[in-house]
Amino acid sequence: MQLILSRSRLLLFSLAIVISGQTVKAQKATIVKFDKLEKILNTNSEQIQVVNFWATWCAPCVKELPLLEKITVQNNLNVKITLISLDYADKIDNVNAFMARKHIQSEVLLLNELDYNSWIDKVEKSWSGAIPATLIFNPKTGQRKFVEKELKEGELESLIAAIQ
């Protein structure tokens, strides 16, 4: 009886969320090679680009994700957030499950390039390879900021404002 009641409550809760229009659907990660990331880094978009390198096993990375997601959800800063997962490609199911649990709405690409030394300098010459790492750039002006540490509350907004 308890199981039936629990299922009924879950169904009603899910129905209430759908009816209220507050359905939150997490993105699914797409496995890519560096050439896809390079297209993002060379975009001619009107939007400021924020490219964050992270992994599910990196505690500081996971801790800063809500700050990045806040920008995606607000969507009023003319900013595009792209999360680049450095988890292994064979762990895509784990990454997608993580994204669902955390309700990640930003675009997530899982970079399938094990030879980090072949592409890190192409992202940022000063990057040691540590994560989390975030590249913020304005394609219209060419201004760039790179942060190789965990972002704190308000820091991302300040970096975005500095290159607008």
Label residue 9 by pLDDT band (50, 70, 90): very low
Q: pTM of the full predicted structure?
A: 0.83
**Residue whose pair of structure tokens reads 């304005």 in the numeric block:** 138
Q: What is the pLDDT of residue 164?
A: 86
Tell me which residue of 91, 83, 78 sits closest to 151, measured CA to CA: 83
- Residue 144: is its pLDDT beyond 70? yes
80-135 per-position pLDDT tens digit? 999 999 999 999 999 999 999 999 999 999 999 999 999 999 999 999 999 999 99
Tell me which residue of 128, 155, 160, 127 sits closest to 144, measured CA to CA: 160
36-90 per-position pLDDT tens digit? 999 999 999 999 999 999 999 999 999 999 999 999 888 777 899 999 999 999 9
Q: What is the pLDDT of residue 75?
A: 72
Question: Beta partners for 54?
Answer: 85
pLDDT, greater one: 12 or 131:
131
- What are the structural domains of the chain? 24-163 (3.40.30.10)
